[in-house]
Amino acid sequence: MEAKVEARPVIRVQAPMPERDEGVLPEEEHEIKMTARDVNVYYGEKQALFGVNLDILDRSVTALIGPSGCGKSTFLRCLDRMNDVIEGCRVTGKITLDGESIYAPQVDPVQLRARVGMVFQKPNPFPKSIFENVAYGPRIHGMIKTKADAEEIVVNSLTKAGLFEEVKDRLNESGTGLSGGQQQRLCIARAISVDPEVILMDEPCSALDPIATARIEALMEELKENYCIVIVTHSMQQAARVSQRTAFFHLGKLVEVDDTAKIFTNPTDIRTQDYVTGRFG
Amino acid sequence: MSEAQTIDQRANVRDWASDDAQRRVRRRYGADRRLQLYGIIAIVLAIGLLGILLASLVVTGLPAFLQTKVNLEIYVDPTKVKPDDLAKGNFRGLVRDALSSFVPAEATDKQKTEVAKILTSDAPYIVRDYVVGHPDTIGKTITLPIALSDPFDQLNKGVIPKEVDALSWSQVRYFERLRNRGVVVEESGRTSLKLDIYIDPAKVEAGPPPTGDFAALARDSLQAYLPDVHDTALFAMLADDAPDAIANRVAADPAIIGKTVQIVFPVSPPFQELAEGKTPKVPNPRFTPVQLAAFDAMAAKGLVHTPFNWELFFNADSRFPERAGLAGAITGTFLMLLVSFALSFPIGIAAAVYLEEFAPKNRFTDLIEVNINNLAAVPSVVFGLLGLAVFIGFFGLPRSVPLVGGMVMSLITLPTIIIATRAALKAVPPSIREAALGVGASKHQVMMHHVLPLAMPGILTGTIIGMAHALGETAPLLLIGMNAFIPSIESMGILEPATTLPTQIYSWADSPERGFVSRTSAAILVLLGFLVIMNMLAVVLRHRFERKW
């Protein structure tokens, strides 16, 4: 059999050039909002985090970066005790919020989660109306006494999340009918509706397209004026764009934490350097 | 180098056009088609069998949805029914009087009673209920549709024939055997049997006139021709005047006493017809001639009609099929399912929620889980025995009541509901729980505000399927006695004896009256109707409330 070899059409692509944000941010003073001291996390027999020590600054964005499975999401979930609901998960060490341990026996995890809000990777609005999505949290925490309260909180939260203008005519429609980016902003509105002090975001843009991502990032920029934000991200560009401080996790250990500009330009640890320059991960 | 290249090329450019490859393709398509064919055959078979079942049920059951009635003109005689004491009125007499126009004037009391049996035995009570409800009709003539008794209902619907074969199959065969032996002859226009007969001196006196048991002689001789037959039906072959043939011969020649002679016996009229090649018929012995005449008279006047049998749904059970209905069974089923739902729905959800959301995962909860699945496989009769022993025997609850039936049914439906609920809870995506936890909802708030409402369609579907299962259960109900005879639905309650649809079907299927045959099928159709409605409800719920995440 004679092999027929024909010239096939080809498309040439250019290898991407990594973009770098070389801008040096002006130094600001931030209070320490949360601290983690010697935090170990075990899933059953397996240890997922090894002695993490980290300070999280108020009114700023702290990015947690690192390769998959390095423990950054695990650490994030320690900060609002979401790990409590996972079977066989055990946390040792000390995590404080405003100087008080959040794992102390007298602390109610439900109240804690009202103070430390969370936004998840996949937009997860309740299958209820947009209004109910936002009003639910304040309602169960007794922040709503009258109908006017509810409306005020809903409008405020949606406005802060930059969603109000888009949905003001259809507040009674289902939240699941929105686009992915809108859903995620609805989730952010829901998180800020209970007036938290800290907002944790677990890869909030990984399920979104670039335009929606840009809107969320702009939103984070605004929110950090009032809130302490911790974001887990896989995108180093995103970390560089939105965060003031970056923590690099690797194999369950916190390798390095510093100002974002320093991490991306002049990291101390060779592993950080390898990761941010794309050599592994 | 060049060799390696050739191998490479050969590996890259496989020959998809070779015979081998073509055969492989054909084989693959063949296998695909065969697999589809097996599936189609299985489905056709299943649908066919289901169709046969339904068709036979419909064909047998349809007559029960109609009931033959006669529009009877009744004069409410003030001498028989006193307005001040209606309950003691002689309503039976009223019905008799109303029927008198269909009875010959010279009829005996026995014949009048026979004609009264054309109507249902409840006829006086139907008249009484009407007159009690309308006291102003006393002294007037009213026309009431009154159900016919079962045999006449069946006669009118053509289930029971008016005429039946006069001869049994074995009688026809005896006659054929005699004919084959050549003893059947034509004698002076009558079909006769030419038989050798021994005139036994011990049985016959010469006379004159000759006396003796000639009929016995005739029977003996006939028996001698068919010695293997021990059946008195054989002697029906001899005409009533057959013994006279012997008497006449003996009178003519007394010397034959003690000898064997050949005598020709005429056969009875049905056999005469049989010999002529017809199928002899006689009026159905279920009915007397007077009854048939009266019935025909009613029909001729256009009084007999077959309206839709609403009594099938609104009457309770009765010994008389024409008056028997399913109201008692439907009420009992409803009460039982109510108890069962009230118990198993909350208990099932509570158990499932605890096991799914709160229970620690250890060996003990594993054991519980396995055993819940095992319970779903336990034969229902075992639950019936349990109910009998525990609820009735130990706790001393009354027998035959919907409360106990419902409790037993909850035992049967609980595993279904628990398993369905757990599946529905599992199907609620964890992101919803996380979302609720994230805004600071407690575990029970997550459960009650989010997970349970989202799982509800699945839970309801499982519950309805469990209830449909309970609707059709029979064996446990028989054990706890929920096949009571309930002639009235007025006193029914969860602590009163009751019957249910399946047990009603069971008792009707056991009844000998012809009317219950079609009523059994009709009751099965009603039960299937309820099952279909419940299952459709489950499907509708599932589709209507199904959510996309």
- Summarize pLDDT for A177-192 with one digit per residue, the tens: 898 889 999 999 999 8
pLDDT of B84 = 80
pLDDT of A24 = 45
The helix, strand and coil proportions of chain A, stated in percent and rounded to the nearest 5, come to 35, 25, 40
Q: How many CB pairs under 8 A join A and B?
A: 76
**Are A136 and B439 within 8 A, CB to CB?**
yes
Interface test with A, best of B355, B366, B439 (most A CBs within 10 A): B439
Q: Class of the B321-545 domain?
A: mainly alpha
* Predicted ipTM beyond 0.95: no
- Alpha-carbon gap: A244 to the closest alpha carbon of chain B (Å): 24
Name the closest residue on chain A to residue B360, using Cα atoms.
Answer: A87
Instruction: Return the closest-CA partner of residue B328 out of B463, B505, B158, B537.
Output: B505
- Alpha-carbon gap: A126 to the closest alpha carbon of chain B (Å): 6
Q: Which of A1, A113, A124 sits opposite B440 (nearest CB)?
A: A113
Give the tokens for residue B171. 């009688």
Find out whether A61 and A231 touch, Cβ atoms under 8 Å.
yes
| Tens of pLDDT, residues A104-137 | 888 888 889 989 999 998 899 998 899 999 999 9
Instruction: Return the closest-CA partner of residue A72 out of A246, A225, A237, A273.
Output: A246
Domain assignments of chain B as residue spans, ordered by start: 2-63, 69-157, 169-282, 321-545
**Are B548 and A124 within 8 A, CB to CB?**
no
* Amino acid (1-letter code) at residue A54: L
Beta strands in chain A (DSSP E): 32-43, 46-57, 61-65, 89-97, 100-101, 116-119, 198-202, 228-232, 245-250, 253-259
pLDDT at residue B3 greater than cutoff 80: no
Average pLDDT over residues B405-421: 93
- Alpha-carbon gap: B401 to the closest alpha carbon of chain A (Å): 44
| Tens of pLDDT, residues A59-94 | 889 999 998 888 899 999 999 898 888 888 889 999
* Amino acid (1-letter code) at residue B171: Q
In this structure, is the dihedral angle defined by the CA atoms of residues B292, B293, B295 and B296, taken in order, positive or negative?
A: positive
Cα separation of B13 and B9, whole Å?
6
Q: Total structural domains in chain A?
A: 1
CATH number assigned to the domain comprising residue A160:
3.40.50.300
Tell whether A11 is covered by a domain.
Answer: no
Share of chain B above pLDDT 70, in %: 97
Find out whether A41 and A78 touch, Cβ atoms under 8 Å.
yes
**Are B13 and A3 within 8 A, CB to CB?**
yes
Give the tokens for residue B219. 């029977």
**Are A126 and B450 within 8 A, CB to CB?**
yes
DSSP of B235-302, one letter per residue? GGGB-TTHHHHHHHHHHH-GGGTTSEEEEEEEBPHHHHHHHTT---EEE-TTS-HHHHHHHHHHHHTT
- Alpha-carbon gap: B23 to the closest alpha carbon of chain A (Å): 19
Backbone angles phi, psi at B458, to 5 degrees: -65, -40
Partners of B163 in the β-ladder? B283
Structural domain containing residue A195: 32-276
pLDDT at residue B438 greater than cutoff 70: yes
Cα separation of A105 and A278, whole Å?
43
Task: Identify the three-state secondary structure at position A101.
Answer: strand
Contacts with B375 (C-beta within 8 Å, 6 or more apart), sequence order: B411, B414, B415
Contacting residues of B for A136, CB less than 8 Å apart = 436, 439, 441, 449
Query: Is the Cβ of B437 closer than 8 Å to some Cβ of chain A?
Result: yes
Identify the band that residue A12 occupies on the pLDDT scale cut at 50, 70 and 90.
low
Average pLDDT over residues B3-28: 74
Identify the band that residue A23 occupies on the pLDDT scale cut at 50, 70 and 90.
very low
Tell whether A265 is covered by a domain.
Answer: yes
Cα separation of B318 and B314, whole Å?
12
Name the closest residue on chain A to residue B10, using Cα atoms.
Answer: A3
In this structure, is the dihedral angle defined by the CA atoms of residues B153, B157, B162 and B164, taken in order, positive or negative?
A: negative
Distances (CA, A) of B140 to A116, B69, B98, B126, B135: 89, 21, 13, 17, 10
Alpha-carbon Rg for chain A, nearest whole angstrom, is 21
DSSP of B192-211, one letter per residue? EEEEEEE--TTTEE--SSPE
Query: Is the Cβ of A54 closer than 8 Å to some Cβ of chain B?
Result: no
* Amino acid (1-letter code) at residue B528: L
**Are B439 and A194 within 8 A, CB to CB?**
yes
Cα separation of B4 and A5, whole Å?
17
List all residues of chain A from 113 to 172 with a beta carbon under 8 Å from chain B.
Answer: 113-114, 117-120, 122, 124-127, 136-137, 140-141
pLDDT of A16 = 44
pLDDT at residue B478 greater than cutoff 90: yes
- Alpha-carbon gap: B420 to the closest alpha carbon of chain A (Å): 21
**Which residue did the predictor score with more confidence, A236 or A13?**
A236
Cα separation of B383 and B412, whole Å?
7
Q: For the beta carbon of residue B51, count every other beta carbon within 10 angstroms.
A: 10
Contacts with A17 (C-beta within 8 Å, 6 or more apart), sequence order: none
Q: Which of A3, A137, A140 sits opposite B9 (nearest CB)?
A: A3
Contacting residues of A for B359, CB less than 8 Å apart = none
